[in-house]
Amino acid sequence: MELKNDDKIKEVTFLPTIQVPEIAAKKQSIVDVLCKSEKGEQIIIEMQVSPQEGFEKRAQYYAAKAYSMQLNKGSDLVIKRAYEELNQFNWTEEELFIYEQETKRIMDNRAAEDYLIKTAEARGKAEGIRIGKAKARAEKIEIARKFKQSGVSCDIIAQSTGLTKKEIEELN
């Protein structure tokens, strides 16, 4: 993270790593390290020992949550408009919970679909390789058959095609 001049972090205060939701029905998050800079900005530090699928999305979620927890209602025109738009819905905690559950279900379904697609692609690739090898073997057998009909020795045919002498001798 590259920071310039006044944005540079000089001192850090460590905060609890659990990001408690404002509404009980919302999801609680736990980050590796949560700090507060001299300017009062929250900084999340996430560390991974090995690559994990979905890490980027999880890190973005944590960052968005930390960012949104620092906002004051109406402090910025854009934020004010967002609050005005959100207030149109005026959801109860139960409605918000249902909405978040539906969002989670949709995300879970997408993840399951992505997994199925990856699995199907891997199976398709494996099947393609198997078919390709079978075709290559059939071509070798056909070449060996033609060599044999032309009177080429089994040793040379075996050397040229990779077939065994026994396989060549069994050809018509």
**Is the pLDDT higher at 46 or at 19?**
46
Judge whether residue 26 has pLDDT over 90.
Answer: no
**pLDDT reported for residue 163:** 93
Judge whether residue 30 has pLDDT over 70.
Answer: no
**pLDDT reported for residue 75:** 56
In 3-state terms the chain splits into helix, strand, coil percentages (rounded to 5) of 60, 10, 35
**Most confident residue range from 15-19, 26-30, 46-50, 75-79:** 46-50
First-residue to last-residue Cα distance in the chain: 72
Confidence of residue 164 (pLDDT cuts 50, 70, 90): very high
Model confidence pLDDT, tens digit, residues 81-139: 777 777 766 777 888 788 888 888 898 899 999 999 999 999 999 999 999 999 999 99
Facing residues of 33 across strands? 45
Token pair in block for residue 7: 């944005």
**Most confident residue range from 9-18, 103-112, 118-127, 163-172:** 118-127
**pLDDT reported for residue 149:** 93
Distances (CA, A) of 37 to 19, 31, 90: 17, 16, 34
| Residues shown for the chain | 172
Cα 7 to chain centroid distance, Å, stands at 32
Q: Helix (H, G, I), strand (E, B), or coil: what is residue 115? A: helix
Task: Please give the Cα distance from 69 to 76 (Å, whole number).
Answer: 14
pTM for the predicted model, two decimal places: 0.40
| DSSP 8-state class, residue 72 | P
**pLDDT reported for residue 98:** 86
For residues 13 and 4, the answer to whether their CB atoms sit within 8 Å is no
> Which amino acid belongs to residue 114?
D
**Is the pLDDT higher at 30 or at 97?**
97
